[in-house]
């Protein structure tokens, strides 16, 4: 009997030691979306880099495709996902737990414009916020940076889905689609045959601070600590910068930053604890 109890205890400790952490992340919003490829790879690298301290894990996408706002609600209630990625805001950091390491080194805050080819000449004359306020930007219905544009007195046309915004722009239902420097070139290439009337503006570089973090449920301390440890390990090893450069250095060169006019917007939703002092986490032009 004692031997039987002893075996159960050994089995119990063995099972505990081999607990596999479940990591469920959002489904891609589009089959063409390279941003998700990068984010998933970065997530996997961070989990791998933390295996020595936190053990094994299992990664898989959520069963249901949802809008970003619904993923946030599901994570807050601990249903369907265990980690999401999102641009941070003061309100979001109250609802969810951020891992304050910017996934794109702040690159998403540098914006280029996808426009209709008929408006190329008009946008070549945009030099300031006042000029930009003459035009309407397209954004997703529940995208947080809608508030950034509205705060800076820029009119916004909202689309119900990410994909619908491209067809709306092609139909001239708004004037420009503001895209991250890390987004626009891939988005344009995969859709130019479907929307040949679209073009990338070559004159303006819009900027507002817009860091994207991994977020977990407020109570999920273990996963939060694991992701922070893993990401910091990647930074220390140089792997974080290496992965970033693999995906985005060609796009940075393609953007021809030096020939563009920089226009800055205020972001009233930027949390006070944003680690702007850690210069190694951010890219600056």
**Residue linked to tokens 């995208």:** 143
Q: DSSP of 207-269, one letter per residue?
A: E----EEEEE-TT-HHHHHHHHHHHHHHHHHTHHHHHHHHHHHHHHHHHTGGGSEEEE---TT
Beta bridge partners of 178: 113
DSSP 19: P
Beta strands at 110-116 and 198-200: parallel, antiparallel or unpaired: antiparallel
For the domain with range 109-207, which CATH number is right: 3.40.190.10, 3.40.50.1820, 3.40.50.800, 1.10.1740.10? Answer: 3.40.190.10
Tell me, what's the pLDDT at 182?
92
Could you list the pLDDT tens digit for every one of the 285 residues in the chain? Answer: 444 434 433 343 333 445 899 999 998 776 666 678 899 999 999 999 999 999 999 999 999 888 888 999 999 999 999 999 999 999 999 999 999 999 999 999 999 999 999 999 999 999 999 999 999 999 998 899 999 999 999 999 999 988 999 999 999 999 999 999 999 999 999 999 999 999 999 999 999 999 999 999 999 999 999 999 999 999 999 999 999 999 999 999 999 999 999 999 999 999 999 999 999 999 988
Beta bridge partners of 157: 138
Token readout for 74 is 């599901």
The answer to whether residues 230 and 48 touch, using CB atoms and an 8 Å cutoff, is yes
Tell me, what's the pLDDT at 263?
98
Tell me, what's the pLDDT at 284?
86
**Residue linked to tokens 């994207």:** 212
Tell me, what's the pLDDT at 32?
60
Same fold, 19-106+210-281 and 109-207: yes
Domain boundaries, given as residue ranges, for the chain? 19-106+210-281, 109-207
Q: What is the pTM of this model?
A: 0.87
256: left (phi over 0), alpha (psi -120 to 50) or beta: left
CATH class of 19-106+210-281: alpha beta
């Amino acid at each position: 009997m004692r031997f039987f109890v002893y075996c159960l205890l050994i089995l119990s400790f063995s099972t505990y030691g081999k607990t596999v952490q479940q990591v469920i992340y959002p489904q891609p919003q589009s089959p063409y979306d390279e941003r998700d490829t990068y984010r998933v790879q970065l997530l996997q690298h961070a989990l791998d880099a933390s295996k020595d301290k936190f053990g094994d894990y299992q990664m898989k996408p959520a069963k249901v495709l949802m809008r970003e706002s619904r993923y946030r609600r599901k994570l807050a209630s601990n249903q369907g996902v265990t980690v999401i990625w999102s641009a941070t805001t003061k309100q979001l950091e109250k609802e969810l737990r951020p891992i304050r390491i910017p996934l794109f080194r702040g690159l998403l805050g540098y914006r280029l414009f996808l426009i209709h080819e008929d408006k190329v000449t008009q946008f070549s004359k945009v030099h300031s916020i006042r000029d930009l306020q003459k035009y309407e930007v397209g954004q997703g219905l529940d995208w947080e940076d809608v508030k950034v544009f509205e705060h800076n007195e820029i009119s916004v046309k909202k689309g119900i889905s990410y994909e619908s915004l491209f067809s709306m722009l092609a139909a001239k239902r708004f004037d420009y689609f503001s895209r991250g420097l890390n987004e626009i070139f891939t988005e344009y290439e995969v859709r130019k045959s479907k929307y040949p009337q679209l073009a990338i503006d070559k004159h303006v570089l819009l900027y507002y601070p817009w860091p994207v973090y991994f977020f977990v449920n407020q109570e999920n301390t273990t996963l939060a600590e694991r992701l922070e440890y893993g990401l910091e390990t990647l930074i220390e090893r140089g792997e974080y910068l290496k992965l970033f450069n693999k995906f985005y250095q060609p796009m940075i060169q393609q953007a021809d930053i030096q020939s563009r006019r920089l226009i800055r917007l205020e972001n009233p939703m930027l949390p006070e604890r944003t680690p702007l002092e850690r210069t190694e986490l951010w890219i600056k032009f």
